[in-house]
Every structure is written in C-alpha cells, then in structure tokens.
Amino acid sequence: MHYLEEYTIVAPATVPGTGALSLLRISGPLAITVCDKVIRFSGASLSDTPGGRLRYGEICNADGSLLDTVVVSVFRAPHSYTGEDSVEISCHASSYIVSRLLEMICASGARLAGPGEFTKRAFLNGKMDLSQAEAVADVISSNSEASHRVAMNQLRGGYSKDLESLRDDLVQMASLLELELDFSEEDVEFADRSGLSSLLDKVLSHINKLTDSFRLGNAIKNGIPVAIVGPVNAGKSTLLNTLLNEERAIVSDIAGTTRDTIEETVNIDGILFRFIDTAGLRETSEYVESAGIKRSLKKLSEADVVLAVIDLTAPVSESLSAIKEIVSKVDFSAQKLVILLNKWGSDDANKNVTTINNFVSSTGNKIVAINISALNRIGIDDLKNCLKEWFGSLNLQEDATLVTNVRHLEALKKAQLSLSAVATGLSLGSPTDLLAQDLREAISHISSILGQDITPDTVLHHIFAHHCIGK
C-alpha cells in the first residue's frame, strides 16, 4: 500500500520553550524544496543532499537579519518515518523562533499538520500496520516500566504477528470453504469438517486468551485499579494523601466529607497503581451522599485490589460488621482484599486487633490484614510491598501479548461471535455458504485491528485524533 499526499505538512515535534532545543518535522512532496526556500546552506542545496545526512544552515528574516542557526536532518522516501520525503529541523527552543520558522515554512508551501497526521501517513504508506500506529501513542504516554514494555512490544509488531497468525489460520479455513462453493454442483467436500472444528477450537481458544488479557492490559496501561473503601471517618482520604505525598483529598472529622471518587496514580517501583478514594460506606438518606456510596460500590466491584480501611478506635462490633459487608462484595476469584487496620498505636486501637485478626484468619488466607497509621505513615511500606509482591511479575512480561485497546477488544469480541456461529453451524451441518459468510466476517473483524479493512477517512480520523501534534 502506498499513499501519495499532495500536501506537505509541518509541526513541532517538541514543546517550544521547555528545553534547549526544539524539533520541527516536515513531510511531503515539497519538504526538501520548502527548506531550501527558508534555510540558507553553504555549498550544495538541500535538494542535492542524499538521505540520511545532516546539514548546518542559517535562517534569516526578510531584512537579512539572522533568526537562528539550525541542524537539518534529511530523509528520502521511502526511508523515513512517514515513507515520504521528510526533514527534521533542530533549532533553539525559543517560542518566538519556532513560531517564526513555522510561519516561514507555511508561507513557502507547507501547511500545519493535524493530530497524528505523521503517523497516519506512516500507516497509509505501509510503514506500520494500524495496531502499531496506535501503539505509538501508547509509547509516548507510558508512565511505568510495565506499560512501556507492553507498548514497545506492540510497536515492534509482536501483537501484529499474533493477529496475523490468527488471520492466516482463518484464511486457510475460508479458502477451503470457498473452494467448495466453486464446485457446489459437483457435491465435493474439500474441507474436512472434523479438521475445521479442531482448527476453530484452536483459534477461538487463542482469541479468548486475548480478550481475557484486556483486564490486565488495561490495568498496565492506565494503572492497576485499587479501591480504597470503608466506613466514614476511617482514614481513607488520609491514606490517599499519604500514598501521594500531597494533600489531594480533603480530610475532616465531619462524617461523609468525601461525596465522590478521587482517582490518582502512583508509580511503585515501575508498576502503575490507580488509587481510588471513595465515599464512606454507611446507611444514609441524604441524596448526594447516597449517590457517592453507589459509586463507591461500583468502583469496589471494578477494582483489582480492594483496600478496606478500618478505624481501630471504633467499636469492634462496628468494625467487624463493616469488614463482613465489604467481604461479601469482593469477588475473590478476580480481586484481592487487604484489611488496613488504621490508627494503629493509639490507646484505643490495639485491643481490637486480636478480634479482627481472628476473623481474618477464619477466612482461609483469602484476606491480608496490615496494621497501619495513615497519618503517621506506619505500615505504608508494608502495604506497598504487598502490592509489589502481587503485581511485581508484570515487569517480567516483556514479550507478553496483551490487549490494551478498547477498539481491538470490541473487534475480537465480534470475531468471537462470528466464529461461535461457525462452530454451531459445523455441529448442525449448516450449508457451506453460511459457514463461509460467518468466517469472512470473523476475518474482517481481525483484519480491522491491523487496518487491512479500514479505509474511510472518518474512521482513520477518529483513531489518530488522540495522537499529539507532530507525531
């Protein structure tokens, strides 16, 4: 596939004024010609410069005064990021210089690029498939070692190879069925039904594995969700502030201060956790607080880890009741629960620890209990070590194939439905044309992840709209 764009585009690839240098990207048929108009080189012009070379040049204002000195990198098609003739200009990071340089370049025949337009051209010119193009944004936004490794694996094509393998198996299956349709009058069966069924089971198993990986992939990309729940005034907001090392949540002795959820991410030794402070759990008729409690329960059900903050100075009967209520709402097959016995060390606290620990022990090691003082930072390192022990292996999955993109997940789910229809049809002895149709739909859904069946400009615009300018 090769895409020829008549327009030459330009955009800053760095943020002006945030460092010593700024980088401007130019791509398109006039990229090199535009630079020759704007930049003065000694010796040969940029048009006579081979690709893969650096040139030093000067940019002058209309009155001949020097605006800046620059270093220009030349990339000749197809050996560039976009597959087109491209130039990268390294100038000083003055906002004024960058603005004037962009003005000159646009006046000489280029236009400002839209969000993600460079990567969009790279996709359209066959420099990468669509899943790799989407991974570019994930690499840029990665904020932990685990998310960076998953995004880099996708950018290098590991995820694409996995999907290509799936697609090849389905195409092989479809070709046999299509061959039968070509010889339908001969009543010849080219596709062994038992063989197709076995191949279908293998492909469905692989797709199921990919869809199941989304929860982990999404957690790595956006942070492992950790819900902080518990009764009012147990110290949930204080715990969040302590984990963040800042006063993010309002702390007050007034019960029910937190009415909505507050989410913040914390990087713990290369693993990103998304801590969610929630409204205190209690019976209330107040509408706003009641709505906040409903959100708390929703976040509890969605979290990978639930931190139940219990006030050790409260009556032990109330604490046990709160713990049992939280335990009843945790899915231990998919979630982990930590009981944080807060305000440890106070005069009224220690006497309740034994009773609560006895209950925790009775659950059969499904629950972890940690004594903490969120205010005095006691036990916080123990909590972090517990989280690292559970999720530390995420940093070892350098080549893991994980689904992190909702668009990909939806396409895989649609492929699942189509392949399930094929499986049902095989078991019922359905006509070949019906089997072939469902199989074609499954292939189309998987191909859409790679961008092989996506051509409408509106779809591509939606996909690349979240990319930053200059990428």
Q: Are residues 235 and 313 in the same domain?
A: yes
Alpha carbon distance 45, 409 (integer Å): 50
- The predicted pLDDT at position 21 comes to 93
Q: Is the pLDDT of residue 471 over 90?
A: no
Q: Specify whether 389 is located in the same domain as 245.
A: yes
19-48, pLDDT tens digit by residue?
899 999 999 999 999 999 999 999 899 999
Residue 149, in any domain of the structure = yes
CB 327 within 8 A of CB 343: no
Structure confidence at residue 52 (pLDDT): 94
- For the cut 50, the answer to whether the pLDDT of residue 459 exceeds it is no
Residue of 152 and 30 predicted with greater confidence: 30
Residues 239 and 90 in one domain: no
* Domain harbouring 120, CATH code: 3.30.1360.120
- Partners of 370 in beta bridges: 340
Task: Identify whether 460 is part of a domain.
Answer: no
pLDDT tens by residue, 342-400: 988 766 666 678 788 888 787 777 888 899 998 889 999 999 999 988 887 655 455 66
Amino acid at 20: A
Same domain for 188 and 241?
Answer: no
Q: Dihedrals φ, ψ of 63, to 5°?
A: -85, 5
Single residue among 77, 105, 129 that ends a domain in this structure: 129
271 belongs to a structural domain: yes
Closest by Cα among 55, 3, 14 to 32: 55
How far is Cα of residue 196 from the mean position of the Cα atoms in its chain? Answer: 35
Residue 240 and residue 382 in one domain: yes
pLDDT of residue 349: 60
464: in domain: no
Q: Summarize pLDDT for 251-283 with one digit per residue, the tens.
A: 444 444 444 578 888 888 878 899 988 876 655
Q: What is the CATH number of the domain that holds 153?
A: 1.20.120.430
pLDDT at 415: 94
Confidence of residue 233 (pLDDT cuts 50, 70, 90): confident
Boundary (domain end) residue, out of 111, 129, 147: 129
pLDDT at 154: 81
The predicted structure's pLDDT at residue 468: 66
Q: What is the mean pLDDT of residues 190-207?
A: 81
pLDDT of residue 461: 61
Residue pLDDT, tens place only, 284-306:
555 455 666 777 778 888 889 99
Q: Which of 106, 129, 152 is the last residue of a domain?
A: 129
Residue 175's pLDDT band (cuts 50, 70, 90): confident
The reply to whether 268 falls in a domain is yes
Determine, yes or no, domain membership for 458: no
Same domain, yes or no: 144 and 280 = no
Q: What is the pLDDT of residue 205?
A: 92
Model confidence at 247, pLDDT cuts 50, 70, 90, reads: low
Q: Which amino acid is at 114?
A: G
Cα separation values, 370 from 17, 307, 385, Å: 47, 10, 11
Judge if 200 and 256 occupy the same domain.
Answer: no
Instruction: Name residues whose C-beta falls within 8 Å of residue 92's C-beta, 6 or more positions apart in sequence.
Output: 20, 21, 22, 68
More confident residue, 177 or 12: 12
Domain assignment present for residue 457? The answer is no
The number of folded domains in the chain is 3
CATH number at residue 361: 3.40.50.300
Share the mean pLDDT of the chain.
83
Only one residue has tokens 């080189």, namely 41
Q: Which residues contact 316 (CB under 8 A, 6 or more apart)?
A: 351, 352, 355, 356
Average pLDDT over residues 49-54: 95
Same domain, 163 and 207: yes
Q: Is the pLDDT of residue 310 over 60?
A: yes
Residue 418 shares a structural domain with residue 392: no
Give me the sign of the Cα torsion angle 392, 398, 399, 404: positive
Both 375 and 444 in one domain: the answer is no
Q: Would residue 154 count as lying in a domain? A: yes
**Same domain assignment for residues 180 and 97:** no
Q: Is the pLDDT of residue 136 over 50?
A: yes
Residues 420 and 441 both lie in one domain:
yes
Of 64-78, 157-171, 188-202, 417-431, which range is least confident? Answer: 188-202
Residue 82 belongs to what domain range?
A: 8-129
Q: Return the higher-pLDDT residue of 69 and 351.
A: 69
| The predicted structure's pLDDT at residue 282 | 55
Nearest to 57 by CA among 47, 281, 46, 48: 46
Q: 87: burial class by Cβ within 10 Å (0-12, 13-18, 19+)?
A: buried
- For residue 22, what pLDDT is reported? 94
CA pair distance 253, 274, nearest whole angstrom: 25
Is 420 a residue whose pLDDT tops 90?
Answer: yes
